[in-house]
Chain A
Amino acid sequence: MNDTLSSEKVAPENAAPQDAWPALMRRAQDGDQRAYRLVLRALVPVVRVRVRRRIFDDALAEDVVQDVLMTLHRLRHTYDPALPLLPWVSAIVSARAVDALRRQGRSRGREINRDETLSSTVDPGAAAAFDAIGAERELAGMLNILPDRQRQMIELVKLQEMTLDAAAQESRLSVSAVKSLLHRAITRLREHGKQTHG
């Protein structure tokens, strides 16, 4: 009774009716690919409902639905068309869901979720990343002392590595003006560096 209700509830309107499934599966066993496509598409919502009764993780549930479809395909010769299809499908769903939960349990058993060990874990890339962030902040601080035009020239020519011509075009200035702005910016930064670092 539950089987019928659940499949009626979830089956799309254009799906094959449930009482046609054994006949479609028989034709699929005989090599009728269209019948096979119809019955598999009709089964997906039913399988999904049954899987979600056991598995609450959406991604894992969809993996199991896929696994069930592949198992149905491998074992399609074991279905007896004289019998209803749903008990056969349910047995496969049940076995695959239990397998997935076991696998998930095993992988969780191997995982370590301890915050104190996580913070003390040595990550060789972390120091370099922190250094890069520090350098970026220092550079931003230095550039802030420059007037807008001079800062723009430093960003274009030194940081973005544009040519003087390209920087002149980008800023709508002459090349000599760009050179002059760069020279002044560098002189100012050098003076600032002498003052702050001795």
Chain B
Amino acid sequence: MVDHDTLIDTLCDEAAPVRRVAPAWRRALGWTPVALGVGWLMTQLLHRASTDWTGPLAGVAAANILLSLGLGIAALTAALSVSVPGRVARASGWFVACLAMWLGLAVYSIGIARHPVGQLGHGSYCFTFVLVAGAPMIAVTVLALRRTRSLHPVRSLTFAGAGAAFLSFGLLAFCHPIAMSAMDFAGHLAAGILLGALTIAIGRKAIAA
């Protein structure tokens, strides 16, 4: 058996006081405004049409925003949580319920559209919007994860990417018609998946413990 005392002595000699990490939910609540802020700033580069808040379906838009932001914060919390050794992220009942409601709202929005299926290329603006809003959020989430780093970077970054995607969906809902086509929704999802993939590609080495 190898004697590791020399290594232990070296580690102890250089052991300075460290600041313990705060609970994941508190860190997520701190980072979310930053992510939303930089995302919103980036979308100022794009033309934005405001949602009709006076119409009868304004409640649907508000619910969509709340659900998207809630899911984004939950995903970001999960990302920060699983980055700590020994912690796991379990899909709680309310998270699954929120996701189901978010999907339900999307199906409802498709159902009330004049052309539910849409055409190829329909939704390219939304695709661009989600990517533009989400790109700086990737940097923010990677920055947040660098504090703890992660023994399982892909797992943490998958959650982080989902967080960036849902927060971008939340920003998109402020300037999106309530009715949407299936092609439009597919564009949203494609942009979200692309954000997730980019988050993993960019952050994998940066947060590896």
Contact = CB atoms under 8 A, between A and B. Distances in A.
Interface of A: 28-31, 33-34, 36-37, 40-41, 44, 48, 62, 65-66, 69-71, 73-81, 83, 87-92, 95
Contacts of B148: 75, 77-78
Contact of A80 (B1, B2, B9, B20): B20
Nearest to A44: B4
B174 to A, nearest CB: 36
A76 B13 CA distance: 15
Interface in B125-160: 148-149, 151-152
B11 A48 contact: no
Nearest to B14: A73
B120 interface: no
B1 to A, nearest CB: 7
Contacts of B5: 41
B12 A78 contact: no
A12 to B, nearest CB: 12
B17 A91 contact: no
Interface in B19-59: 19-21
A62 B18 contact: no
Contacts of B84: 78, 80
Contact of B85 (A41, A73, A81, A92): A92
A62 B2 contact: yes
Contact of B17 (A30, A48, A69, A71): A30
Given A74-B209, A75-B85, A87-B86, A31 B8 contact: no
Contact of B18 (A33, A77, A80): A77
A118 B1 CA distance: 34
Contacts of A30: 17
B12 A31 contact: no
A74 B16 CA distance: 11
A33 B85 contact: no
A73 B2 contact: no
23 contacts: A29-B17, A29-B20, A33-B13, A36-B12, A36-B15, A37-B8, A62-B1, A66-B2, A66-B4, A69-B7, A70-B11, A71-B151, A74-B209, A75-B148, A75-B209, A77-B19, A78-B20, A78-B148, A80-B20, A88-B85, A88-B86, A95-B85, A95-B151
A71 B209 contact: yes
Given A71-B151, A79-B20, 5 more contacts: A28-B15, A31-B16, A40-B11, A66-B7, A75-B85
B84 to A, nearest CB: 5
B206 to A, nearest CB: 15
Contacts of B151: 71, 91-92, 95
Nearest to B152: A95
A159 to B, nearest CB: 44
Query: Which 3 residue pairs spanning A and B have beta carbons closest together?
Result: A31-B17, A95-B151, A91-B85
B152 to A, nearest CB: 7
A33 B1 contact: no
Contacts of A81: 20
Interface-centre pick from B9, B17, B20, B149 (highest chain A CB count, 10 A) = B20
Contacts of A29: 17-18, 20
Contacts of A75: 85, 148-149, 209
